[in-house]
A = this chain, B = another copy of it.
Amino acid sequence: MSHARSEYEDFKTLAPDVYDLVLALGQAAAKAGMDKHLLELVKLRASQINGCAFCVQHHILLSERLGVPADKLNLVVVWREAPLFSARERAALAWTEALTLLPDGVSDDVYAEASAHFSEQELTYLTSAVASINVWNRFGAAYRWTPAERPKKADAAA
């Protein structure tokens, strides 16, 4: 059974200008100095909500390379009920969920919490990260891109 409708590589070939823009958009927050661990949690959570298997796998693997703790990766799916996330992470995740489930609106509470933990500029860049993963999710889920294979561990002898 071929699961995918098309693949990540097809996107690059069919619309290279769009591909470059989306790639750049996804890097803007880190470039502006936002914490990479936080950005990975945010992108993983949005990808879970949006049902993009390619994106979940991509950000799991990237998070592992960046050293995001395993417990955070495993529990971000139920972060509201998991005490190991900091207040700042919770504010970012609540902002992420509200923006990802946008038709339900962004409440004053969620905005107040986000504003308490992030400067105006930080929140704008955080929003750009949420928006960018929402773009990738729309491509990855719509086309059902195949998740990347987990790279084999390096040989012990190497």
Contact = CB atoms under 8 A, between A and B. Distances in A.
Interface residues of A, number: 70
B49 A103 contact: yes
B53 A78 contact: yes
B14 A21 contact: no
Interface in A38-97: 47-53, 56-57, 60, 70-71, 73-75, 77-78, 80-84, 95
Interface of A: 1, 3-6, 10-11, 14-15, 17-18, 21-22, 24-25, 28, 31-32, 47-53, 56-57, 60, 70-71, 73-75, 77-78, 80-84, 95, 98-103, 105-106, 111, 120-121, 124-125, 127-128, 130-132, 134-135, 137-139, 141-142, 144, 146-147, 150
